[in-house]
Each structure stands twice: as structure tokens, then as C-alpha cells.
Structure 1
Amino acid sequence: MSTPQPPMPQSAPAPDWQTAPGASYPSYTSPIPVVRTHLLHAVASEWTKIKSVRSTMWTLGVLVLLVVGIGLLTGALVSASDQDLGGESALGLGFFGLLLGSMCVITLGVLTTASEYGTGMIRTTMVACPSRGRVLAAKGIVFFLVAFVVTLVSASLVALVHVAMLEGQGAAEPTGGEWFKGTVGISLYIALLGLLSLAVGSIVRHSAGAITIMIGAVLAPLVMALFMFAESLRDVQQALFEYSIPNQLSIFYANSLSDSGPSGWDPLWIMLVVTAAALAGAFALLEKRDV
């Protein structure tokens, strides 16, 4: 006697879209809007990064402290000494604070790119934005604007205080052109110097190494020139004096270390060309190397 078999389960009827031969699945529309990404999205991302990390607050805080603190201290010492400035512009007293403050801009510029290679965060960045050139461009735009604005505000504050403080000590009233060069011009130069550091950080991919290279580029030519006593090296010494970054900074205040060499707005154009070349190299290497 055969054992009765259990009834087979009834399968659910096929949906209407499956019954017709060759029928396709229904389309799905995501509720999340799909937007084609562009450079401004990368800029927004880099702005979020740069304002979130502690290194930005520390370096920019020290920058403001050096520029404003040393500037006010210098102005106070000159004012207390009752020294007659002999018709010189009071704007030049801000040079010392800006020279030291430029080291903070260099440091932040390097960290903007090189620190991501040290932590490995660059891999996440490139996954989120596969266009490597767009990432580097966004970093450069955000950093340049931040460095320029902070330097401009600090330099302008110091300049206003110096002119008001030393008005009765024979200081000449700065012209409009002198104001523009001593605030906007020198801020553009320092921001470009930081952008050059950013490019070097992208090329070297090592924070300490890139910072060392940039500080050497700022200080080494002037230090080398000071110890060149041989007559045969006189022309080399003169060139190092003229094209050293401290001398180019002083040109914005009409206080060049030499009577020849760059003048007027020449330092800004020189730095612009050097920075553009470094950025071109950084873009080229970024596309060729692994992250």
C-alpha cells in the first residue's frame, strides 16, 4: 500500500509584468536627486576640511599673533623712543611680523596636502572625488583665499595702528599706492608663497620634508649671501640678496636690500611664475602616481 504524498505548495501567481513574454522589470526612481558634481562641490568639501582640523586654527592663530603682536611691539618701541622717522613711511614697520608670519602660512600650505598622505586620508578623498586635478585645484583655491584674507586683515590692522601711532614722529603719510602695496600686495605675495608650499607638499608627500624645503628656500639664500666674502662671488652674493624672499617682501615697503634687482610689483610676478610652475608639476605627478 503506497504512502500518500503531501500536496505540493501552490506557487504565487506571477505578477502582471512577468506574464507577457519579453516583459522588462519596472524602472526605479531614486528619491535622492542625482546631481553632476563640479569644482564647487570639491571646494565645499575642502572648506569643510580646512576649517575642521586643528592645524588650521593653530597656524592661523600664531600667524595673527606674530603679525599683530610683533607689529604693535615694534610700533610701541619706536613711539617710545621719540625717534624722528625722517619722512619714511610707517608701513615698513610691519615687515618683521609678516616675515615670521609667513612661516605659519608655509606650514599650513604644506599640511593642506601632505598631511593627507601621512594619514592615508587621501585615499578616501580620491574615492569621493576621482578627479585628482579637481581635488588639488579645490585645495589650492580654498587655501589661497583663507591665507590671503587672514594676512590682509592682520597687515591692515597693523598698518592702521602704525600710521596713527607714529603720526607725530616725522612719518610720511602713505599714499594710496603705498597702502595698496603694503596691505593687498604683500598679502597676495604671502598667499602665493603658501600656495607654492601646497604644491611642494603635493609633490614631496611628506610634511616635515616639504616644510624643511620651503623654510630653506626662504632663509637659505639670504644666509648664504651674508657669508660670501670672496670678491669672485660678489655677483652671486648680489643676486642672492636681490632675489631672496625676505628682500622681495621688503620691496613692498620700498625698503629693498639693494639698489638693483626687482622693484615695484616685480616680486609678485616672480612668485606667480614660480608657483604656477610648481602647481603644473604637482598636477602632472598627481595623475601619474598612485595614492
Structure 2
Amino acid sequence: MTTHTFAVTPVRVLRSEWHKLWTLRSTWITALSASVLVLGVGLTMGATYTAGGGDSDIDTVVLALYGTMLSQICLAVLGILVTAGEYATGMIRASLTAVPRRSPVLWAKAAVFAATVFTLSLTTALVTFLAAQLFLSDTDQAASLTDPGVFRAIAGNSAGLTLISLIALGLGASLRSIPGGIGAFVGGVMIVPEILTMLPYEAVDTAITYFPTQAFGALGSATPLPGAAAPGEALLALCLWAGASLGTAALLLKRRDV
């Protein structure tokens, strides 16, 4: 009778990717840095806020989670390391030998990474918002999780951060280079939209609202942002960007030799 003790199953691939992610020192350092940046900036914004000052017109959730703008870079780099890092070390050969169908490796990486980033970012965002409110409770920025749009914005912030990180993961898998992936993310995701805003065309301005960083901003605000996409549209746009990035990576993974 043939046994399948060592058969490749989705659960085993997921478990393998989970162990690979959390046994790397870079994972702990990058994840901790992302959380510390959000919490540190949030506490600073709360402690230094003055009612009626220049920040009085900023959305409460955006103000408390301002550090997310920095943490997204940390988590994007981590996403690139998850995929391109294996090519840099040569470990990808062992992974693809163990899972000859290849694509389950990418989807397992994406699933484990997405679950990790969302859990980490949501926990950090909740702690940061509540901690910042200790300083903001007697100001015009006082808010609670039960206020309209607040929890939705915090969850949207975490979902947006997760999807942007998945875009970076897909770039790392497609380019198979850590410097190349980081350059593509910073240039393509963060800088290009800012350059396009200089073009005097209304259609360009409308399209830019659905670019990753702009859609991310719309998701993380408790109140509607002028000229921004609606939260549902922003979430759909980010899902499509992440899907396109991972889909391209999956196609290239199947077509290339290694």
C-alpha cells in the first residue's frame, strides 16, 4: 500500500512559509520597527497637539496614525524580502523542489504575510489610537472607537497597509531582486503618482485617486477626504492592484526556469 506521509498539501506549504517568515531576524526587526514608528509618531502627535492649531482640520484617525506613512515602507521592504530574499540566498530552489507546482509557494507566502501584516497593523493601530486619545481627550480631536467611521477607518488603515505590502511582495517575486523591488516600489507606487499630479488633466487627477497610496489614504480616514475615492472604491482599487502584482508574479514564476 502506498502511503502519503510526505505528500505536499496546502496546510504543509502554509506551515513551511510560516516557519520561514518567523525564523528570519529581519522579520522581527522590520515588524517591530513598523509598530514602533506608528506608536511613537502617534504619541508624539497626541502629546504635542494644540486645539485650534494647524492640525485641527486633520481627521482624528489620520492624526493618530500618521506614523503609518513610515511603517508602510518598513512592511513593503519586508514583503520584498519575503520573496526576493529567497532568490538572493538561493533558498528558492529548495522551496520549488519541495513544491514542484510552484504557484502554491507564492500563494502561501502571500497568505501568511497578509495575515501577519493585518494582525500586526490592526493591533498597533488600536493601541496607538487609544494611547493618543489619552492626550487628545480634552481637545477638539477627542474621539472613541464607537464614533461614526472611527473603527472602520482603523480597520481600513490596516487593510490598506496589508494590500500595499502585498503589492510589494508581488514586485519582489517578479523582479527577484531586493534593490530592484525596493526601487520599483518607491518609484512606481510612491513617486510616480506625485509626478502625475503635475499634469493639467482632469482625467489624470481622477485616475490618481485610485492609485495605491491615494486609495490607502482614503481608507484610513473616518471622514471623507476632498477629492478622494469612497472607502469601498478605494478598497476595490487596492485589491485590484495587489491582485495584478501577485498575478504577474505567479505567471512569471511558472514561465521561468527558477
Alignment size in residue pairs: 255
Please report the RMSD computed on the Cα atoms of aligned residues, expressed in angstroms: 2.6
What TM-score, normalized by structure 2, do the two folds share?
0.88
Q: Separation in 1 of the partners of 2:180 and 2:56?
A: 45
Partner of residue 179 from structure 1, selected from 145, 150, 159: 150
What TM-score, normalized by structure 1, do the two folds share?
0.79
Which residue does 2:106 correspond to in 1? Answer: 136
Does the 8 A contact of 1:91 with 1:163 survive in 2? no
Residue 235 of structure 2 is aligned to residue 268 of structure 1: yes
Distance 1:40 1:218, change over 3 A: same
Residue 224 of structure 2 is aligned to residue 253 of structure 1: no
Does the 8 A contact of 1:148 with 1:187 survive in 2? yes
Which residue does 1:52 correspond to in 2? Answer: 23
Residue 242 of structure 2 is aligned to residue 282 of structure 1: no
Q: Separation in 2 of the partners of 1:221 and 1:201?
A: 18
Distance 1:213 1:83, change over 3 A: same
Partner of residue 167 from structure 1, selected from 129, 133, 137: 137
Q: Secondary structure at the match of 2:149?
A: helix
Deviation at 1:168, TM superposition (A): 1.2
Deviation at 1:130, TM superposition (A): 1.7
Deviation at 1:273, TM superposition (A): 0.9
Letter in 2 for 1:134: P
Which segments of 5 or more consecutive residues in structure 2 lack a partner in the other structure? Answer: none
Residue 7 of structure 2 is aligned to residue 39 of structure 1: no
Q: Separation in 1 of the partners of 2:255 and 2:213?
A: 35
Letter in 2 for 1:110: I
Deviation at 1:290, TM superposition (A): 0.9
Does the 8 A contact of 2:86 with 2:92 survive in 1? yes
Distance 1:123 1:246, change over 3 A: closer
Matched ranges for 1:68-147 at <5 A: 68-78=39-49, 81-83=50-52, 89-147=59-117
Deviation at 1:171, TM superposition (A): 2.6
Does the 8 A contact of 2:14 with 2:112 survive in 1? yes
Distance 1:104 1:289, change over 3 A: same
Does the 8 A contact of 2:59 with 2:223 survive in 1? no
Q: Separation in 2 of the partners of 1:152 and 1:146?
A: 10
Letter in 2 for 1:219: M
Q: Separation in 2 of the partners of 1:52 and 1:283?
A: 24
Q: Separation in 1 of the partners of 2:211 and 2:139?
A: 31
Q: Separation in 2 of the partners of 1:87 and 1:289?
A: 51
Partner of residue 118 from structure 2, selected from 139, 148, 169: 148
Q: Extract structure 1 runs of 4+ deviating beyond 4 A.
A: 84-89, 174-177, 254-257
Q: Separation in 2 of the partners of 1:250 and 1:138?
A: 28
Deviation at 1:161, TM superposition (A): 1.8
Which segments of 5 or more consecutive residues in structure 1 lack a partner in the other structure? Answer: 1-26
